[in-house]
Amino acid sequence: MRRHRLVLGLLLVGLVAWGCAGTSGSMSMTPKPAGVVKPPTITAFFAADKGTYRDPIKVYLAAEQKDGAMQMIAVQVSQLGYGDYPSNRTYLKEDNRERFVGYLQWNAPGGGSLPEGTRISIDISVSDRWGNQSNSIVLPYEFTSGGSSPSVLPAPFDQAAVPRLGYISIVLRNPFKVQRSGK
């Protein structure tokens, strides 16, 4: 019996020590550099302000951080008459951590049909590996039956090969339709 208590005690001490070692306050294995780290900055952005619920939406972004520590793009969507949706996160590739110009693509954001005139706001920010957050941009968007896509993009997005940074995977709900459960 005494041997079991000793083994359990050692196991408990090991778990506590292991748990304390993993709570350094940072989710990154890279130590934060000394001094002030400036947060990322969104330097340019563009998106159409209306379109149909079937058409993909492209949100163009340019951002930079001199420390090369940008980690992800966070997208929060709020729908008039429905509310906020859970955030969507796009993690940046290693070569996009200091500076990037690209777009996020949102395919069929309305899932099914949305009523004419449904309005949303798209709130976007960029954060680094230490939790510093960039300036936030808010883009309005309205779903219409006619839709419109710009034929000419503004600089710096008017280059031939602007890369896709990732996808937005939020599915909007029609607040006037009863949502059926799978039961």
Amino acid 21: pLDDT: 45
- Alpha-carbon distance of 180 to 89, in angstroms, equals 27
CA-nearest of 56, 71, 51, 76 to 137 is 76
Amino acid 22: pLDDT: 43
Q: Give a yes or no: residue 32 inside a domain.
A: no
CA-nearest of 49, 65, 13 to 73 is 65
CATH number for position 101: 2.60.40.10
Per the structure, the count of domains in the chain is 1
Q: Give a yes or no: residue 181 inside a domain.
A: no
Q: Give a yes or no: residue 113 inside a domain.
A: yes
Q: What is the mean pLDDT of each run of 10 residues along the chain (183 residues)?
A: 57 49 44 74 95 90 94 96 94 96 90 84 96 96 78 88 95 76 54
Q: Give a yes or no: residue 104 inside a domain.
A: yes
Q: Which residue range(s) make up the domain with 120?
A: 41-167
**Cα-based distances in Å from 132 to 22, 56, 140, 180:** 21, 30, 25, 40
Q: Give a yes or no: residue 129 inside a domain.
A: yes
Q: Give a yes or no: residue 19 inside a domain.
A: no
Amino acid 23: pLDDT: 40
Specify the DSSP element, H or E, that contains 104.
strand 99-106
Q: Give a yes or no: residue 6 inside a domain.
A: no
